[in-house]
Amino acid sequence: MKQGICLLNVDALTGSFYSRLRDETRAPKGACQAMAQRISDEVQRICQESDRIQASGDVEAWARSLGKHRLDQCLKYYHLGSRHGRVELHSTLSAIVYRYITPPQTQASYQARIALIEDFLQGFYVESLNAFRRETQLSDRFQPRTLLELAEFMAFSERYGKRRIPLPGRRSQQLIILRAQTFSKQQPPEVAIDIEQATDYGGEGDDVRPAASHQRVREEMIAQTDELPESSLRGRVVDELLAYLRDRNQDDCADYFTLRLLDLSTQEIETVLNLNPRERDYLQQRFKYHLLRFALSHNWELVHEWLEAGLETNLGLTPHQWQQLQQALPPKQTKLLSLKQQGVSDAEAARILGLTATQFQKQWTKLLEQAWDIRNL
């Protein structure tokens, strides 16, 4: 066992996970205890195997942070519920692989790409379920049957897809993107299991049910805009950004953004908007300017909530990155950040710091930009 892992108070860690599950779900005690133990075991394994964590000098803080992240994900899917949770997961993974799933030239349309994404993700969900069973040391016949188990599996599937896989040349790539690239190079396999079948918790374990057709999979699983729950953060961000652009008479930017959401090529966007390449490039730069103002100033809270990078999560920074940010801040910005974390209103914080409202906003935007840069290093 590596030096440092002994610093973990395993019982306290598991107990804190259990208490939160009991407080925030309606699941039975046994189910909460089992899930808390699984999360604790995973966190211990990560802390033990990571040289970076071992060298940090604060293994306990890392363990708490990793466990909180996993619990937050599980509870997000738990509160969304069975159907909306599956739609949210499907939408998240679809957005990641969209540009990597390329249909044959003979059927290179938006709908053809969506159909291929559906086929790809059905196989990925099966792979993810097998990985979940293996890594949590569950039976190879295990299927999530309660809402809490389903939420845990969906949270695992999201993390599993986003895992960074090391590549030659000191590069890395997300696992789901590597799978998508491989899928696009070969004939799609016939996969007749969808996530609902793989994780159904309404029937008996040995039920033999007819395989779902691809059409049924698409009808029930595809995250079309009008099927997304109203509470979907991604949908709210899109709606708010469009409203922001319209309010500022930036209709051409809003149209450009809408076409980007449809993943149209540059040439297609130029044709639809009747622009030459130079005009389109100017519009793109103007859109990026407004996008940054929206994300870092106008509606930073919503955007950072969507990115899971709010104040309650230290702006999405790891403990090391958070320390790096704090060391880089001048005293006034350090005080500003402290006031924000205490929930002090912007007007009151500006008064305490002796800043005008405009100066305060500029300082806060600059701080968010610094955090953004560190987070994306």
pLDDT in tens, 182-229: 888 763 333 323 333 333 333 333 333 333 333 333 343 333 333 333
Residue 273 pLDDT:
80
**Rounded-to-integer distance, Cα 47 and Cα 170, Å:** 22
Residue 160 pLDDT:
93
Residue 265 pLDDT:
72
CB 198 within 8 A of CB 145: no
Residue 207 pLDDT:
31
**Rounded-to-integer distance, Cα 252 and Cα 268, Å:** 15
Judged against a pLDDT cut of 90, whether residue 39 lies above it is answered with: yes
**Rounded-to-integer distance, Cα 17 and Cα 40, Å:** 8
Judged against a pLDDT cut of 60, whether residue 177 lies above it is answered with: yes
Q: How far is CA 290 from CA 106, 243, 293, in A?
A: 37, 12, 5
Q: Give the tens place of pLDDT for each residue, 334-360.
A: 888 888 888 888 888 888 888 888 888
Residue 367 pLDDT:
85
Residue 295 pLDDT:
75
Q: In whole numbers, what is the pLDDT of the chain averaged over residues?
A: 77
The pair of three-digit structure tokens given for residue 140, joined into one six-digit string: 């190879």
**Rounded-to-integer distance, Cα 364 and Cα 350, Å:** 10
Nearest to 322 by CA among 367, 362, 359: 367
Residue 6 pLDDT:
44
The pair of three-digit structure tokens given for residue 132, joined into one six-digit string: 């979940």
Lowest mean pLDDT among 24-38, 46-60, 312-326: 312-326
Lowest mean pLDDT among 12-16, 151-155, 232-236: 232-236
Judged against a pLDDT cut of 60, whether residue 365 lies above it is answered with: yes
Is the four-CA dihedral 38, 195, 82, 157 of positive or negative sign?
positive
Residue 22 pLDDT:
94
| Burial profile 116-126: b = 16 or more Cβ within 10 angstroms, e = fewer | bbbbbbbbbbb
